Amino acid sequence: MPVMRIPYTDPLPAPRILPPSASTVRGTIAALTNFLVTPARTSVPTQQTPSPPHPSAAESNHATSALASSRPRTLLLTGAGISVASGLADYRGSSGTYTLNKTYRPIYFSEFVGSHASRQRYWARSFLGWENLRRAKPNTSHRAVAALGQAGAIQSVITQNVDSFHKILNDPASLPTLELHGYLRATVCLTCRKEYDRQAFQERLCELNPAWHTFLQECLRSGALDTENPIERRERGLKTNPDGDVDLPGVDYATFRYPACPSCLGKDARVDVDQDGAVVPTTKAGVLKPAVVMFGESIPPEVKTRAEEFVDAADKMLIVGSSLATYSAWRLAKKATDQGKPVGILNMGGVRGEEGFFEGVPRDNDGSLAFRSQEASEFILPEVVERVQKMWGTSSDKVADKTLDDAKASASS
């Protein structure tokens, strides 16, 4: 059955902090450390055998002592919130797209495919937003995730983000990383499925749209794209949204031109372009789209299967910076819960269906059975890395040390 990227727009519940001490930075660091280092007892339920209840705190402590030499296999699921510190707005946070712009509506896959005008609107906005994304860098949280992977506290990563920051930092051999919703670093042809570098595509857009290129240069000179604060961007007339586009209210996008697939051009009679190679409304093939899973688009079957394999192979799941507002992500957390696996959440704001992840968890657990906090990940994860390294004796890893030092320096700057 196909899984589509569909946003959940209903109000999200207020979180229940677990344990209560996780309402502070110090308590969050301790609870999350316990969650990551405590071996998990899981059981995959069947129709005949109901899922077992969560063990008591005493049972958990006994299990921890008996299995002190083992390390749980933790799957990390990240969302837009982890990239906010890189200057990329999320959807639901205090400075998120939905918060700042109540009328914002992302383009849907069916619109992009079916309408030349919709593609003009998308690529014009992406043309301006790309510069900010291109210059953005992985932040403290991304570097701490890489260090946790090196320390053995995280065994795999699934990210909803399309910025490729985890891919840049994570060692694929030791920390497999799956981009659930694709990536913005490339475009892909809807006809031949070949991918092309997004920066090269940007340069082609500059050639086809000299007036828009001039406008982009003015934005850069004015500093409208320099600030990492989306509120300041809006005051300067620009907003960068999580999928890398910039909204310009009242702008006519009908003048914007975009190129056809270089491979299909000249080979497919259905590709219609003007004298400069720009796509015209009559074209039936050779249309390039971002290599992301757009809203309303199905997750590729191989990605869906791989994500499920990540969940099946894990002992527990940690969610950072995601409200699970898309079904494709929420279903993975639900799958882990159905398998009796502990779930931890570090996210500023509510999370879709989170009350169902913590049913039966004692409120006074130390974080080893379940974890929930609203603290900012960039201030929590580096300290957790340090504690895990000391507990497991992995701080001698010079690569991990450098990653942690960079993360802590970034958090304090």
Known binder of ligand: residue 206? no
DSSP-derived letter for residue 123 is: H
Which residues, including other chains, have CB under 8 Å from residue 191's CB and lie 6 or more apart?
261, 264, 268, 285, 286, 287
Catalytic annotation, residues: 181
Cα angle for residues 192, 244, 195 (degrees, 5° grid) = 20
Sign of CA dihedral 362, 72, 181, 219: positive
Q: Alpha helices of 261-376 — where are they, by DSSP H?
A: 301-313, 327-338
Residue with tokens 């595509």: 201
DSSP state of 324: -
Q: How many CB atoms lie within 10 A of CB 59?
A: 12
Identify which of 241, 29, 2, 161 has the alpha carbon closest to the alpha carbon of residue 233: 241
Q: Please state, in angstroms and rounded to a whole number, the distance separating the CA atoms of residues 86 and 407.
A: 12
Tokens, residue 266: 């000249």
Q: What is the residue whose two structure tokens read 């291109």?
A: 134
Q: Is 219 annotated as a binding residue?
A: no
- CB atoms < 10 A from the CB of 2, how many? 9
What is the DSSP code string of 212-243? HHHHHHHHHHHTTTT-S-HHHHHHTT--B-TT
Q: Compute the C-alpha angle 221/225/231, nearest 5°.
A: 130
Residue 189 annotated as binding site: yes
Distances in Å between the Cα of 8 and the Cα atoms of 92, 249, 267, 386 are: 11, 24, 41, 36
CB 289 within 8 A of CB 190: yes
Distance CA 152, CA 145 (A): 11
Binding site as annotated, residues: 189, 192, 261, 264
Binding site as annotated, residues for Zn(2+): 189, 192, 261, 264
